[in-house]
Structure 1
Amino acid sequence: CPFVKHVNEEIVRIANDYRVLGFGFVAISSNDVENYPEDSPWLMREIARKYNFSFPYLYDETQQTAKDYDAACTPDFYLFDAELKLIYRGQLDDSRPGNGIPVNGRDLREALDNVFNNRQQNELQKPSLGCGIKWKQEVNPS
């Protein structure tokens, strides 16, 4: 997905910056790899190595995790507090491929800073924009 490729380096920077403050990170791929083999776990492992991911990169084979969290696109960012309550779901920042705005992770960094500094989250959480999740085709039994 061009949106993910556009922000991969910043995702790694954010994980590295905030991991030392006690935050944990995980990336999850939920795309249908049968119809989209370019999203296979083996190729995603190469991406993780290329960008030196410092966090687990998981594969949601059944797509149940994406369904449970109502994931809409890639990338889609979720931030949970110490009680595992969802406190931020939104975009990384305003940068998009080709819009000329630099990638800086502003929105996600602000949400992480709010948690770290025990401040209330901004109520305005812009939804993430990216490629739609590649859902498996439902098989209807005969």
Structure 2
Amino acid sequence: MTERDDGTRSGDRAGTDDGSRGGDGSRASNPISVERLDALAGRPHANVFPGEEPTTIRLTLAAGERVEPHRHPDRQVVLFVVEGELELRVGDESEGLEAGDVARFDGDRDISPRAVTDSVALVVLAPRADG
């Protein structure tokens, strides 16, 4: 990695044009967007790529905290538990998830994750292909 005069870095990174990052940590002039999840810490429902599809959220919940039941109509949802343990309620079903687990479900059903322990999850809300 080499530092440029404008504060960006360049170097070899697989899958990138030149490996450069803008001053805000995002890729500059590159078709691949890369963000660090830890850079979004302190924001419970941080949008990783604002204004872009699919919507990608870094969800942070303290132990015992939950998201009230809600829906994401016409979306398929993928939830990846980065750290901690969650109880995921989708409709009438409930599933315990821990770090490393990935769940996929229909956003047209009531969704309510609850943190068993302090937890961080990455949630991807993709437009349904048939919707």
TM-score (norm 2): 0.22
Structure number with bigger Rg: 2
Structure with the bigger RCO (C-alpha within 8 Å, sep 6+) is 1
TM-score (norm 1): 0.21
The structure carrying a bigger helix percent of its residues is 1
